[in-house]
Amino acid sequence: METAKRWEVEKYKVKNWKKYSLIGFSVVVVLLIAALIFVNAYINRTLPTTDGEVQLNGLNDIVEVVRDGDGVPHIEATNTHDLFMAQGYVQAQDRLFQMELARRQASGTLSEVVGEATVEQDRYFRTLGLRRAAEKSLAAYSQESMDILEAYAAGVNAYIEEAKQERRLPPGFTLMGIDPSPWEPVDSLTVGKYMAFDLGGHWERQAFNYYLLSEFPENQAYELFPSYPNDAPTILKETGKVDVAARFKDALIPHAFNGSNNWVVSGERTESGSPLLADDPHLGLATPSIWYQMHLKSPEYNVSGVIFAGIPGIILGHNEDVAWGVTNVGPDVQQLYLEKRNPDNPHQFLFDGNWEEAITHKEPIRVKGEEDIDYEVVETRHGPIISEFAEESGEDTQMSLRWTALDATTELEAVLEMNRATNWNEFEEGLEKFLAPAQNFVFASQDGTIAYKANGRIPIYEHPDDALLPMRGWEEEDEWQGYIPFDELPRSVNPDNGFIATANNKVIGDDYPYHISHSWAQPYRYKRIVEMLEESDKVSKDDFMTMQMDVRNLQAEEFLSYMLDQLDMSELTTEEKIGVEILMDWNYEDDHSQAQPLLFHTWISEVQDEIYNDSIPEEMRELFHGAGQTTDELLRKERDGGSSRWISQAGGVSKVLTDAFQSTIAELKGKQGNDIEAWTWGEGHAVEFTHPLSSIGFLERFYNPGEPRSVSGSRVTVRAAGYNHDGIVDHGASWRFVIDMNDPSSAYHIVGPGQSGHFKSEWYHNQLDDWVDGTYHETSLNQYDGDELVLIPGSN
């Protein structure tokens, strides 16, 4: 009986345990659903308001903002102040978190919100002094431009205050636990200076060349120089050796693949009878896009195109009369100087026989969760001591950086004048104020003019070979001899052949009186553009769009046959011979569905490793900008009957190519399996447009939606697609643009992956597939509809 009672009691307990467990589980599920609903509601609330009315204190009149079906804002104002205040407000709506990170990165203040992980990066940017250069630049601006900068900042701040009051700041701010401080005019100029940094210069290559001469016999070192110097430099004989590998191990180096394509064709060679222009700048591919597309309209402006988030105006695009695009010139505007430090006073450096006092900048670095770091930047007459950022040393020889972008410059003045230009003369007049970075501008106007100018402040070197190496900071004769006069910069207007094209290639002939650069891009993109332009007497805007997506590989056309002929077939396995057969049956198209591009590009990479890895440490390879071009030259030398010391040292051209091919097959088998014929370029070459916050594991599904898309093209094709060691395409055409001046009110664009920085916006990744497929959208100066937001002057 007792046993039966106990059994009944136990059954009751189990029954109630199940009951209450079920209730508890249900409560947890309800709470979880409620939490998800709350989070979703919060995230949705942080989306920008794109229709209705919003009051903005500081406006003088009503401003209309229409976002068309592609998320492009068309801003129409009755006066200049309101136009640029509205531009600041609208940019902040879509890109405020990006703007915050951009100004922090350029200013060296990321550690305040990230922590210790970004301290070295902050030290580097504090050393460079982009923000200091921006502050110097403010004084060079006209009152008109300052008024526009102030109006733009007021618009950004109006949105910041509105979002704070309504608890609608973008999710990134909540995730990082920060609030944005007010935007200032200097922030816009600092972001502009960062873009000059991203387009880079050649100090890394100078440091690498210095390393070569320090470590290798002169003839062997010179073989890797971008051009062979006429006179043997004497710099190493005049100073103690600087340990380049140790000093620059933590330097943040701009991506070596940053480049671009542009071309313009006169009406005599087009179907419409008017000039056609195309531009696709090659920069980092990420979310949000580096570019933001806008249309600005007021009594003084009617201009459309793209701008960097954080900056007013339109830097690339068109108005009702003219259109323009750019590529990077890549001139020697960065010069390393070796500096002799006074052993008795670390803040004095030798110049012309005297000790000069350096400028010292106190740059304390705040670090989230840690104590502040006292940091000091020393600046000589040439610029900041950049060898100091890597490690403190008491050595008497240092390296400083002279760079045109660290001077006061006036790019916004130029942009505003370009935006209002109605013809080439007015446009070129505006270019005189565009000083850094140096850019190849191509131009087209409705009156039929096509033109080109390599623009910017480019130093004059008395001895051009000096730019190959660090120069002597203590010798007056090693100072720059001023800058190439504006009227003598490379220029072409209405050339006889009817077109102009640039792709970071050499833009001057041997008769040009000034030195521009020792480091030009590999010529394949430029040659292919010219080939396509010469194939047709009459081209159309559709032809231009097709050209921008072209994937013909001229590097493979030049080298593949020679490389295959040099293989030692007796050393190859059956699998490796299958790879050879596949390569022999190739149309030289870097198509994502084919195996040949994967084999070829991996092989080229392995060739470089075979030649350099045993002799040059990995940290120095990072400074070896232009390595691809140099390797091409070594192969050409061998192909044409000469001999390369580097290839000979690695065992000869046959051994290098054979070993590299065997490594290629082994590496790709590990990545794509044993069935060589099933390999594809797209499997190891795909684009994702990664968001910086996606590195936080659970956020990846939100910020990087979907799988990476397979992509055709490569670093050497017109359809540029540079990639990292994981095969993710992270550099390429950040914006594609085509315009027919027969109707300059409309143009064709792709801004990958989209306009918005908010992952729940319909315009977040809506152009990702368009970017992959080459599907353009048309944007008009006159006809547009969509969500309409009316900005109304506030009551105070």
- The binding site for Ca(2+) consists of 332
- Which residue type does 780 have? S
Q: Would you state the torsion angle of the CA atoms of residues 444, 450, 452, 456, taken in this order, to the nearest 10 degrees?
A: -40
Alpha carbon distance 705, 759 (integer Å): 9
* Token couple for 320: 């009702």
**What value, to the nearest 5°, has the Cα angle with vertex 387 and ends 383 and 393?**
125
**Torsional class of 142: left (φ above 0), alpha (ψ -120 to 50), beta (otherwise):** beta
* Cα radius of gyration (the chain): 29
For residue 693, what is the enclosing H or E element?
A: none
Going by C-beta distance under 8 Å and a sequence separation of 6 or more, which residues neighbour residue 419? 296, 301, 303, 313, 314, 319
Q: Secondary structure of 452-518 in the HEC alphabet?
A: EEEECCCECCCCHHHHHCCEECCCHHHCCCCECCHHHCCEEECCCCCEEEECCCCCCCCCCCCCCCC
Handedness of CA 704, 548, 415, 75 (dihedral sign): negative
With H, G, I as helix, E, B as strand and everything else as coil, classify residue 606. helix
Question: For 513, phi and psi rounded to 5 degrees?
Answer: -75, -10
Measure the CA–CA gap between 778 and 357, rounded to whole angstroms. Answer: 57
Distance (Å, rounded) from C-alpha 308 to C-alpha 435? 17
Q: Facing residues of 348 across strands?
A: 357
Q: How far apart are CA 339 and CA 336, in angstroms?
A: 9
**728-733 vs 686-687, strand pairing mode:** parallel
- Taken in order 548, 549, 554, 557, the sign of the CA dihedral is negative
β-strand pairing of 334-342 with 345-351: antiparallel
What is the separation, in whole angstroms, between the first and last Cα of the chain?
87
State the burial class of residue 299 (Cβ atoms within 10 Å of its Cβ: 0-12, 13-18, 19+): exposed
- Cβ neighbours for 187, distance < 8 A, ≥ 6 positions apart: 99, 103, 153, 310
Q: How many CB atoms lie within 10 A of CB 57?
A: 12
Contact call for residues 60 and 82 (beta carbons, < 8 A): yes
Q: Which DSSP helix (H) or strand (E) runs through 289?
A: none
Residue 585's alpha-carbon distances to 365, 550, 597, 659, in angstroms, are: 58, 20, 12, 22
Distance (Å, whole) CA 154 – CA 131: 20
Cα–Cα distance, 460 to 481 (Å, whole number): 5
Q: Give the closest residue to 312 by CA, choosing from 140, 154, 198.
A: 154
Cβ proximity of 499 and 265 under 8 Å? yes
Which residues have CB under 8 Å from 711's CB, separation 6+?
592, 682, 685, 686, 687, 721, 729, 772
Alpha helices (H) in 200-352, listed in sequence order: 203-215, 218-222, 244-247
Which amino acids are annotated catalytic? 260
Beta strands of 223-321 (E only): which ranges? 259-265, 276-284, 291-297, 302-308, 316-319
Q: How many residues does the chain have?
A: 796
Q: Which of 355, 335, 670, 560 is nearest to 470 (CA)?
A: 335
Cα–Cα distance measured from residue 240 to residue 469, given in angstroms and rounded to the nearest whole number: 15
Q: At what angle do helices 185-199 and 143-165 cross, to 10 degrees?
A: 100
